Amino acid sequence: MKRTPYTPKDFSWAKWTQKDIKTLVPKLLAEKKERLSVIKKVPKVARNFENTVYAIEDSDYGITDTILKIDLLQNVSPLKTIRDTAKKTIDTIQNKLIVIERDPRIWSALKDYEQGAWKKEQETLDPESKKLFLDMFQSYKRLGFDLSPQKQKRVRELSQRLAKVSNEFRQNINAYEDHILVTKDELDGLSERYKEGLKRAKDGRYKVTLAYPDYHPFIELATNEVKRKELAEKSLQKGGRKNMQVLGEMIKLRILRSHILGYKTHADYKLEPRMAKKGDHAVAFVNDLLKKVAKAGKQDIDELRDLKRKMTGDKKAVLYFYDIAYYGNELQKIKFKVDSEEVREYFPLERVIEGTFKIYSTLFDVKFKKLSGFILWHPDVLFYEVTSAKGEFLSTFALDLYPREGKYGHACVCDIVNGRKVSLNKNDYVAPFGAMLTNFPKPTSKNSSLLSHGEVETFLHEFGHMIHHTLTTAKFASQSGCHTAWDFVEAPSQMLEHWAWDKKPLALLSAHYKTGKPLPPTLLKNLLASKKHLLRYGILRQLILATLDLTIHTKNKPPEPAKLYRDLIKKYIEITLPKNAIFPAGFGHLEGYDAGYYGYLWSNVYAADMFTRFEKEGIMNKKTGADYKKWILEKGSSQEEINLVKGFLGRTPDNKAFLREIGEFGFLKP
């Protein structure tokens, strides 16, 4: 299928003004209404797949692209005025689209098709088209069209309010800023490179913010316990008290809506179209793992406590929440002879990007080319195109790698244009475009951007999402790229994290930032051995977060989230958090991943199983990579996810590889 390359004019939206954004609202809404009106006018007897099902799918095309661009600007624009305008615009559009799209006549059109032409056409439709209809029919049914008009109205009102407060929750996290002030002596343990990257206050002291490149090295390396405590306590306030109120309203709205729609809990509502299907299934999955991991994870914490007592000479020393990263790093140096700062010197960001491109070029037979002349939303943003090995254009993507005020504070991939056929009857294909957002250390005139090994994993993970998005060949946008079941969407990127733990890809990803020399053999050996370092605690922490998420979304009278989190940390890790800690206020996954955080571990089961082919056939094996591209990356959700994994593995997937992997690290008894 032919894909047309983008030109600089295609990205004029990156410089939209407040006026530009505001004027889009009536145009988008009018266009959506017009497209749906055409569908509603089709006579019942004339309904078919193309003028009903595909027409509903197609009614989003172009419009959704524009909405996603506005949404991106509210997360990345360096101008607060643009971010604020984009936020208000998204709120308005979401609220009005809920009314426009939840038109009972569109539901009637789908039912007319289901009772008429579907019975004949399903014999001739291709599998993707059949799945499109079945998924669409279910999604409309889940909107409550079988309810009374009064209840439909109430569902619509709740959904509108929920869209608004969800956006507010996310923006409060992005906009939240705080810092501590430290003297040079209080930066003991941190590198000169780190110190030079910090901003200074008027009195000359250094500002350590909550931004990833400031926070994580400090909490891991600073010898000053008092200052680690001060910074960690501020981090536990991220999002602010106001966001706890917003979260409370979000949870209440979700419960009310799920009940009206006929679901026992919000989790049941959210998980119905996912692999888990029901909230109870996700809870059982998490609880089963907790039984296996809790004791082993606690042993990791005990080991850190023992180390603190040994290093401080205080036999009664208490391990606090702000000690875990610090003594974890100290233990890594002692146990595995790995100094995280020494390792960082071998992972300059430029090399990680270059190495990642080489890995994917080998595995998936594609090429990456950096483009110039494209003016995007910030000068730091890098822009690339992806082509086949023969030079055929496939897609483009942007890398927005460094933190700045008001920008999204974590790491993610935003799908802006989703791959799809231009029309049902033409072979031309709309090329995907996505943006990868991270917050890695920004290079300066004196220092390179150096990544920790954990940040290298993060890069591989997020770029795994990007490659899933950009290499899609799915016919429909709603099935392309990362548009899979939410408890599978992490599997492809998690599978690619394994490349951070193998000698061959590490040789491509690493080189000393000054000398260009490879990781020394001993350091490489120790780094690979350190894969088990605090892994039990890491899995336990994921399970705690999944439990937090599922508890507040499977209870009709959920406990207060901040207290619940403090109680879970106390129960499973035996560490006491401050009574005023409001971690959930800054836990962005509670918006978007609500009732879905378990999916990280659920999808890891499939990721571990898929990796067994590379493990057996070679981590850089082109044939295996081609099969992975064919079955997992290109197809999106055009087939059921379980069938895609079956196709790649050549067998029914199971959890043996996952259990074996965690069993190797002492989670399970042999």
Crossing angle of helices 324-336 and 279-312, in 10° steps, is 70
| Same domain flag for 118 and 203 | no
User: Do 184 and 84 sit in the same domain of this protein?
Assistant: no
In this structure, are 128 and 185 located in the same domain?
A: no
* Predicted local confidence at residue 142, as pLDDT: 94
Q: Using CA atoms, how far apart are residues 243 and 561, in angstroms rounded to an integer?
A: 12
- Is 669 buried (19+), middle (13-18) or exposed (0-12) by CB count in 10 A? exposed
Residue 518 maps to a domain: yes
Longest dimension (CA), the chain: 84
Q: Is the pLDDT of residue 179 over 70?
A: yes
Whose CA is closest to 320, among 341, 296, 304, 337? 304
* Any domain includes 638: yes
- DSSP-assigned letter for residue 631: I
Same domain, 183 and 34: no
Distance, CA of 20 to CA of 27 (rounded, Å): 11
The pLDDT score that the predictor gives to residue 669 is: 43
Please tell me the predicted confidence (pLDDT) of residue 670. Answer: 35
Task: Based on the fold, state whether residues 71 and 207 are members of the same structural domain.
Answer: no
* pLDDT of 443: 92
Q: What integer pLDDT is reported at residue 665 of this predicted model?
A: 55
* CATH number of the domain where residue 439 is located: 1.10.1370.40
CA distance 554 to 570: 21
- CA-CA distances (angstroms) from residue 299 to 8, 303, 335, 355, 630? 55, 6, 15, 36, 42
The helix or strand, by DSSP H or E, that contains position 201, with its residue range, turns out to be none
The pLDDT of residue 429 is 97
With tokens 């996810």, the residue in question is 641
For residue range 19-54, list pLDDT tens digits in order. 999 999 999 999 999 999 999 999 999 999 999 999
Residue with tokens 């343990």: 189
Q: What CATH number is attached to the domain comprising 88?
A: 1.20.1050.40
Nearest C-alpha neighbor of 66 from the set 100, 85, 89, 42? 89
Task: Please determine, for residue 621, whether its predicted confidence score (pLDDT) is greater than 70.
Answer: yes
Domain annotation covers residue 573: no
Structural domains of the chain, count: 3
Mean pLDDT, residues 100-129: 95
pLDDT given at position 664: 58
pLDDT at residue 1 above 90? Answer: no
Q: Is residue 559 part of a domain?
A: no
* Shared-domain flag, residues 502 and 647: yes
- The answer to whether position 616 is within a domain reads yes
Q: What is the pLDDT of residue 376?
A: 97
In the chain the first and final C-alpha atoms are separated, in Å, by 51
270 in a structural domain: no
135 and 195 share a domain? no
Residue 384's H or E segment, with its range, is strand 382-388
Structure token pair of residue 233: 């306590």
pLDDT at 454 over 70: yes
Identify whether residues 498 and 637 lie together within a single domain: yes
- Bridge partners (DSSP) of residue 171 are none
For residues 138 and 183, state if they share a domain: no
Domain assignment of residue 126, yes or no: yes
User: Which pLDDT score, from 0 to 100, does residue 625 have?
Assistant: 98
Q: Which domain holds residue 474?
A: 349-532+599-663
pLDDT greater at residue 65 or residue 655: 65
361 lies in the same domain as 425: yes
Residue listed under structure tokens 């250094």: 206
Per the domain annotation, does 61 fall within a domain?
yes
> Which residues pair with residue 429 across a beta bridge?
3, 421
231 and 116 within one domain:
no
Asked if 326 and 221 touch (Cβ cutoff 8 Å), the reply is yes
Write out pLDDT tens, residues 318-364.
999 999 999 999 999 999 999 999 999 999 999 999 999 999 999 99
The answer on 214 and 80 residing in a single domain is no
Q: Catalytic residue numbers?
A: 462
Q: What does the mean pLDDT of the chain come to?
A: 95
